[in-house]
Structure 1
């Protein structure tokens, strides 16, 4: 269940970050290639092409990354036992 919840969190955060990066990439594209601004064409290009692509790629990368992190939780020492005490799992 933790893997699924972290994957959903990664999906949401990745989509937000990817959308922001997509807007930045779209604005750079418009400036570099001198896209015409006739009737808002450059704005529509940025917000209807680059932003959704960035959100999709970022969401998938975030979900995969967070799920991989949750899946490898046993290998990563997130919570350590206090010094001087016996580990909880040993008897």
Structure 2
């Protein structure tokens, strides 16, 4: 259950971060390649192609990263058994 919860959390955070990076990449693309701004072409390019693509890639990456971290955490023992010492 913990692994699934962390994967969903990673999906949400990754999608938000990926969308932000997609917007940044789209704005850089517009600046570098001088995309036409006639009737909002450049805005449509950013918000209908770069942002969703970034959100999908970020969501998949975030979900897989959080799931891998949760799986590795499940393999490691959280509590170690303490061996009682004898007083001499």
How does the TM-score come out when normalised to structure 2? Answer: 0.86
User: Would you say how many aligned residue pairs link Structure 1 and Structure 2?
Assistant: 82
Following TM superposition, the consecutive aligned residue runs of length 4 or more in structure 1 with deviations greater than 6 angstroms are none
| Superposed CA offset, 1:16-50 (max 9, x none) | 00000000000000000000000000000000000
What is the rounded CA distance, in whole Å, between the counterparts of 2:47 and 2:28 in structure 1?
13
- The secondary structure found in structure 2 opposite 1:60 is helix
What is the rounded CA distance, in whole Å, between the counterparts of 2:79 and 2:35 in structure 1?
54
What is the rounded CA distance, in whole Å, between the counterparts of 1:8 and 1:30 in structure 2?
33
Q: 1:1-91 to 2 correspondence within 5 Å? A: 1-73=1-73, 74-75=75-76, 86=82
- Aligned-CA RMSD value: 1.8
- TM-superposed deviation, 1:86: 2.2
- The secondary structure found in structure 2 opposite 1:72 is helix
Gaps of 5+ in 2: 84-88
